[in-house]
Structure 1
């Protein structure tokens, strides 16, 4: 089949094959690069959020808690504003009202929390245990599969770093009365100083991580395809003007010469391979004409 195709068709077939291979391989490479870049962008934003929540926790612990702590013994209900984790979560929920953070989620997953809302599930509990077993592990990043889809998460350990935390989490006897009235005496006790009790976790649906990468991938591949098509058109135009058209004319000249028409001549001004071939063809025509004249002269004699 290829043997019957013209040179231009064969060239276009070759260029089309190269185009498909380049777009396919570039698409795979670009996809990986853009996915890594999108993941890094999300990671940087999540790390910033965790750092911010850490600052909120410190502010609550150092500034808010000392002011409200005396009221914990007199209030009928516990004041959650004294808890650093509560403040961090409330600030984060307010932050989620902004479109760029709407899909982010924050949880202080705790093995034995006072408020069961913060109870770590099995997956989160395993992460906390990793932090407990490996003191040098300061953060963990990865993907988690859920029924609703995969999520990308970043986790950092929560440790008991201040004595004030033990007031509410050491024993029920030491806990404020309002805390016991609100949450009971079964959960959130037995914590020890410097113990890792949970993990701060920021998560976002994995589809959001790669959506931007896919959009950029489509744009980049589209631009690359346009430039490749332009290159193919320019190569076709160049080859048509410099090779295929001259070869077609030389083939027509050779056909006419073979039928005895010696009046034709092919002119090609360039000194490239086509020009050399054209000059050789013209010399061959002249030599053939001289030979034929000699034969005719001998025949007349």
Structure 2
């Protein structure tokens, strides 16, 4: 530490200034980088959660529409036909719309699913990850939503899960006991998806939205901002060095050169500085000292006896 202090004291002013400026910049970049990264990450996560929320609410709106308007029209026909009409079931509607949405390349990895432990349609069967969520909702009935990230073979995705609770008695007509369910339902799917009870949690409403692109944009924004800040720092450093050299260092160097010449007996040198700032006042003080020194030398010469 003592060696460093000794070396630092011997450095030129502009070198000392640049070292201090660089250290300050590095510390500032670390602090601002951590803060900026956190803000961008939170912003990206918020944007993803908004997309998931929008998809969830859209699918629930479709569910309610099918349940309130389509099902009443098709339900009477379920007992009159041999082939089941799946369009009468809200879960079927939301699944089909989700599949149509995923056919659009812009929404390829957006997905909605009613992940059930014992579904009527095998397409709604919960996988191992979704089964854990359903069981978590069953054990923690007060929990209304679970969110997080899931990485599968396709791409990292953000998920939002909500408990699917049996709240409508009409749902029990197709899911309580096989003997009261429409025969067309049994003929199409077999004796699956029964045993539901009112207020039971039987599935999890799952929404998946891609997250990689949003985080990629956040990382790119972070890099762009840091590059801009670094470029500004370099430009400001060069400008400050130019002004420091012109306004301070060159003037101090001129004063030092003049003082050195006077110390060697060159009394013709003078301190010339027209500025009224601190360095200008220093030059004026040195010039007065030079004039006083000339007067003192003249007095000494006058008092010395002539040979």
TM-score (normalised: structure 2):
0.88
**Structure 1 residue 69 displacement after superposition:** 2.3
User: Is 1:112 the counterpart of 2:118 in the alignment?
Assistant: yes
Q: Of residues 15, 29, 32 in structure 2, which corresponds to 1:9?
A: 15
Which has the higher relative contact order, 1 or 2, with Cα contacts under 8 A spaced 6 or more apart?
1
**Structure 1 residue 189 displacement after superposition:** 0.7
Match in the other structure for 2:133: 127
User: Is 1:20 the counterpart of 2:26 in the alignment?
Assistant: yes
User: Is 1:49 the counterpart of 2:45 in the alignment?
Assistant: no
Q: Distance in 1 between matches of 2:74 and 2:45?
A: 41
Match in the other structure for 1:278: 283
Relative to structure 1, is the Cα distance of residues 97 and 284 closer, same or farther in structure 2, using a 3 angstrom cutoff?
A: farther
User: Is 1:31 the counterpart of 2:4 in the alignment?
Assistant: no
Q: Distance in 2 between matches of 1:23 and 1:97?
A: 44
Q: Residues 163 and 204 of structure 2 are in contact (CA less than 8 Å); yes or no, is this contact kept in structure 1?
A: yes
Q: Residues 38 and 209 of structure 1 are in contact (CA less than 8 Å); yes or no, is this contact kept in structure 2?
A: yes
Secondary structure of 1:262's counterpart equals: coil
Secondary structure of 2:178's counterpart equals: coil
Q: Residues 110 and 209 of structure 2 are in contact (CA less than 8 Å); yes or no, is this contact kept in structure 1?
A: yes
Relative to structure 1, is the Cα distance of residues 99 and 21 closer, same or farther in structure 2, using a 3 angstrom cutoff?
A: farther
User: Is 1:203 the counterpart of 2:208 in the alignment?
Assistant: yes
**Deviation string for 1:196-255 (max 9, x for gaps)?**
211111123442342221122123223322333333233223322321111111111112
Match in the other structure for 2:79: 73
Q: Residues 59 and 112 of structure 2 are in contact (CA less than 8 Å); yes or no, is this contact kept in structure 1?
A: no
**Deviation string for 1:137-177 (max 9, x for gaps)?**
22222223546664321112211122221121111212222
**Structure 1 residue 76 displacement after superposition:** 4.2
Q: Residues 152 and 209 of structure 1 are in contact (CA less than 8 Å); yes or no, is this contact kept in structure 2?
A: no
Q: Distance in 2 between matches of 1:201 and 1:300?
A: 112
**Deviation string for 1:75-113 (max 9, x for gaps)?**
444322122112112222223344543332222111211
Match in the other structure for 2:274: 269
Superposed counterparts of 1:149-298, under 5 Å: 150-185=156-191, 187-298=192-303
**Deviation string for 1:111-146 (max 9, x for gaps)?**
211122222223322322333334432222222354
Q: Residues 162 and 206 of structure 2 are in contact (CA less than 8 Å); yes or no, is this contact kept in structure 1?
A: yes
Q: Residues 169 and 189 of structure 1 are in contact (CA less than 8 Å); yes or no, is this contact kept in structure 2?
A: yes
TM-score (normalised: structure 1):
0.90
Q: Distance in 2 between matches of 1:15 and 1:78?
A: 76
Match in the other structure for 1:88: 94
Q: Distance in 2 between matches of 1:76 and 1:225?
A: 72
Unpaired runs of at least 5, structure 1: none
Q: Distance in 1 between matches of 2:277 and 2:54?
A: 63
Match in the other structure for 2:3: none
